[in-house]
Amino acid sequence: MADRGNARIVVLNNDLELKTMYTNVGNPWTVCVSPGAHQYLYSSNSNPDANPAASWEITGEIYKMELDGRIIGKFGKAGKNLGEFQTVHEIDCRNADQLYVSEISAWRAQKIILNPQKIQPAPAAR
């Protein structure tokens, strides 16, 4: 679970007993675990609600992690443009390479494609 107040992700077992904590992802506001044979954990390091200017240098990204807590990638930064994030409050990761991210402060949702497929140009006509 995302524990933004204590700057950590808390991992519990099915009996709600503590398994581990990840403290290397800023202040996570939400987490999502993708389905499938190889699952990924996504976590947002969001700006605080007040959105102070000093927070913009250390917040705004979304982390892609292995389930053991190892960060394998991150993207985004604090901001209001496309691909930038304010206060990410939810991540939908039903497809591990296509995320829907909702932002409570910016009142918007963004669709993020992590591994876009290159489209081959059509052969030139002769």
Encode the chain (126 residues) as per-residue pLDDT tens digits: 999 989 999 999 999 999 999 999 999 999 999 999 999 999 999 876 666 666 767 788 999 999 999 999 999 998 888 889 988 999 999 999 999 999 988 889 999 999 866 666 667 666
Q: What's the pLDDT at 80?
A: 86
Q: What is the pLDDT of residue 55?
A: 74
Q: Indicate the pTM of the whole model.
A: 0.85
- Rounded (to 5) percent helix, strand, coil in the chain: 5, 45, 50
Structural domains of the chain sorted by starting position, each given as residue range(s) with its CATH number in brackets = 2-113 (2.120.10.30)
pLDDT at res. 116 = 65
Rounded to an integer, what distance in angstroms lies between the CA atom of residue 51 and that of residue 24? 21
Q: What is the pLDDT of residue 25?
A: 92
- What six digits make up the tokens of 9? 């992700």
